[in-house]
Amino acid sequence: MTLAVGSVAAAALAIFLFLPMRRQFPGAGRNGARNALVACCVALNAGLAAQLPFVHDPLDRAAGFPLAWPLQYGSFLVAALGCRAFVLLSAETDPARARRRVVAQAAVVAGLLAGMAVSFSTVPADPAFGFGAFGRTDQLAAGAPASSVAFLCFGGYLFYAAVVAIRSFLRWGARAGHLPHLRRGLRVAAVGAGLTGLYAAHVLVTQGLFLVHREPGWNAGLADNILMPLSGTFVMAGLTASAIQAAWAAARTGLRRWRATFALHPLWTRFHAAMPSIAYTPHRPQWSGMLCFGRTDKQLYRLLVELWDFRAYLLRRLPADSRDIAEHAVRGAGVGPGGRVVEAALILAGLDAVQQAVAVPATPVADRPADFDALDDNASWWLDVQTVMNDPLAIETAKQIGTLFDHDVQAA
C-alpha cells in the first residue's frame, strides 16, 4: 500500500509537470515527440492508479468482474508505446520514416491489446486477474491458460520496449555531457526502463511456468507489486527531468525577480513622490506588491523602465560639471572608480534640484546609461545604487554638486 500511495504522489507530480513539459519541444516538428511523452506519463500514472483499492474495488463491483485488470495492463501497454514513439520521434532524422515506425508500433500494440482482450473475455473471473491485499494481482498459483496468454501478450511487448528504451536512454545520456540535468534524467530513465524490463521478464517467466503447469515457488503478484511502481516512478522522473529543471529554474527566477521588485519599491516611491508625472503606473503601497507573484518578469521590467526614466529626468536638472565633481570626490575618498557612488550622488543631487525647483541648466550633465543584457543584472545595478544612496560619501558628494545650482542658474 505504501508503494500505491507513492504512485498517487507520482501522478500528482506528473500532472504538475505537464505545463513545463510542453515547452521542452519547441516547433511544430517536435509536437509528436511531446505528445507521445505526455501520453506515456498519463497512461503510466493511470495504470498505477488502477491498483489502488479505492479505484479498483468500485470498478470491479460495478462490472461484476475484475475490470481494473484490462484497464491497468492496457494503460501500461499504451505507456510503453508512448515511450517508444517518443524515442522514435525525437531521435529519427527522417520524420516520415519515424511516423511510419510509430504507426507500425501502434499496429503491434493494437494487435496485442486485442489478444489480451480476447483472452481476458474468455475467463474474466479467473483469480489471476483479481487484485490482492497489496493492490496488484496476488497470484499464488496457475490460473486458466487464457489468463497466462493475456499476461504473455502484455509482457512480451513491454520487455521489447524496455530493452529499446534502455539502449536509447544510455546513448542519449552519453551525448548530453553539456547538459548535466538532462544526462542525469536520462540515466534515471534508463534505470526505470531496466526495472521495467526486469518486471516484464518476471511476468514472462512466471506466466510461462504457469502455462506449463509449474509453480514458480514465490508470490508472483507480490514481486510485481514492487517492481512495477518502482520502474514507473523512475521512468517518469527521468523523462520529466528537463521539465523539472525548467520548473525549478522558473520558480527560482520568479522568486528572485519578485524580491527585486519588492526591494526596489521604496526607491520607486521616492522618485514618484518627487516626479509623479514621470511614472506610468499609479502609486501603491509596498505590501500590495507582496501579493503579486504572477508575471514577475513583466512587473520588474516596468519598474526598471520607470526608474531609468526618473534617472534621466533627474540628470537633466544637474549642471554639466556635476559628474566631474562627483568622480573627483569619490577618488579623493580613496574609493577607486566608485561608479555606484557617483550614480547615487548624482541621483541624490537631482532629487534635491527637483525638490528645490532649481531651473533647468543650459548644459545638463552628460548621461552615461548602463548597458545590461539581462533583466536581473539591470535590477542588481539599481539595488546597489539604492543601497549606496544611504552612504555618507554619496550624501556629502550630492551636497557638493548642490553648490553648483545657483551658479548655473545665474549663467543660464
- 3-state SS class at 282: coil
Asked whether residue 1 carries a pLDDT value surpassing 50, the answer given is no
Q: Where is average pLDDT lowest: 112-116, 240-244, 298-302?
A: 240-244
pLDDT in tens, 159-208: 998 998 898 888 888 887 777 777 888 888 889 889 989 989 988 998 88
- pLDDT band (50, 70, 90) for residue 153: very high
CA-CA-CA-CA torsion for 54, 56, 60, 66, nearest 10 degrees? -160
Measured from the Cβ of residue 84, the count of other Cβ atoms closer than 10 Å reads 25
Asked whether residue 19 carries a pLDDT value surpassing 70, the answer given is no
Highest-pLDDT range among 161-175, 205-219, 226-240: 161-175
Return d(Cα 287, Cα 152) in angstroms, integer: 63
- pLDDT band (50, 70, 90) for residue 408: very low
Q: Which bin fits 108, alpha (ψ -120 to 50), beta or left (φ > 0)?
A: alpha
Give the residue, 206 or 4, on which the prediction is more confident: 206
Q: Report the 3 state secondary structure along 20-82.
A: HHHCCCCCHHHHHHHHHHHHHHHHHHHHHHCCCHHHHHHHHHHHCCCCHHHHHHHHHHHHHHH
Instruction: Tell me the percentage of the chain whose pLDDT exceeds 70.
Output: 81
Average pLDDT, stretch 372-386?
Answer: 87
Instruction: Look at residue 291 in the predicted model and tell me its pLDDT.
Output: 55
Instruction: Look at residue 29 in the predicted model and tell me its pLDDT.
Output: 46
Asked whether residue 225 carries a pLDDT value surpassing 60, the answer given is yes
- What backbone torsions phi and psi does residue 284 show, to the nearest 5 degrees? -145, 150
Asked whether residue 393 carries a pLDDT value surpassing 70, the answer given is yes
Asked whether residue 287 carries a pLDDT value surpassing 60, the answer given is no
Instruction: Look at residue 201 in the predicted model and tell me its pLDDT.
Output: 92
Task: Report the run of H or E that residue 195 belongs to, with start and end.
Answer: helix 180-211
Give the residue, 247 or 285, on which the prediction is more confident: 247
Asked whether residue 37 carries a pLDDT value surpassing 70, the answer given is yes
Return d(Cα 51, Cα 86) in angstroms, integer: 26
> Is residue 21 exposed (0-12), middle (13-18) or buried (19+ Cβ within 10 Å)?
buried
Return d(Cα 369, Cα 276) in angstroms, integer: 22
Instruction: Look at residue 337 in the predicted model and tell me its pLDDT.
Output: 54
Measured from the Cβ of residue 193, the count of other Cβ atoms closer than 10 Å reads 27
Q: Where is average pLDDT lowest: 282-286, 298-302, 381-385?
A: 282-286
Show the cell assigned to 407.
551658479
Q: Where is average pLDDT lowest: 229-233, 282-286, 296-300, 338-342?
A: 282-286
Distances, alpha carbon 50 to alpha carbons 218, 298, 367, in Å: 24, 43, 67
Q: Report the 3 state secondary structure along 110-158.
A: HHHHHHHHHHHHHCCCCHHHCECCCCCECCCCCCCHHHHHHHHHHHHHH
- pLDDT band (50, 70, 90) for residue 409: very low
The long-range contacts involving 3-9, CB below 8 angstroms and separated by at least 24 positions, are 3/135, 3/225, 3/226, 3/229, 3/230, 4/48, 4/51, 4/52, 4/53, 4/135, 4/229, 6/229, 6/233, 7/45, 7/48, 7/49, 7/51, 7/52, 7/229, 7/232, 7/233, 8/49, 8/52
Average pLDDT, stretch 355-371?
Answer: 78
Average pLDDT, stretch 266-280?
Answer: 85
- 3-state SS class at 319: strand
Instruction: Tell me the percentage of the chain whose pLDDT exceeds 90.
Output: 10
Alpha helices (H) in 220-295, listed in sequence order: 220-239, 241-274, 286-289
Instruction: Look at residue 188 in the predicted model and tell me its pLDDT.
Output: 87
pTM attached to this predicted model = 0.58
Average pLDDT, stretch 331-358?
Answer: 81
Return d(Cα 219, Cα 165) in angstroms, integer: 28
Instruction: Look at residue 103 in the predicted model and tell me its pLDDT.
Output: 93
Average pLDDT, stretch 67-93?
Answer: 85
Asked whether residue 230 carries a pLDDT value surpassing 70, the answer given is yes
Instruction: Look at residue 27 in the predicted model and tell me its pLDDT.
Output: 44
Instruction: Look at residue 22 in the predicted model and tell me its pLDDT.
Output: 46
- Indicate the average pLDDT of the chain: 79
Contact call for residues 321 and 404 (beta carbons, < 8 A): yes
Give the residue, 173 or 308, on which the prediction is more confident: 308
Q: What is the CATH number of domain 2-239?
A: 1.20.1070
Per-domain boundaries in the chain: 2-239, 252-411
Return d(Cα 273, Cα 263) in angstroms, integer: 17
Question: How many residues are there in the chain?
Answer: 412
- pLDDT band (50, 70, 90) for residue 18: very low
Average pLDDT, stretch 32-45?
Answer: 81
Return d(Cα 299, Cα 95) in angstroms, integer: 41
Asked whether residue 110 carries a pLDDT value surpassing 80, the answer given is yes
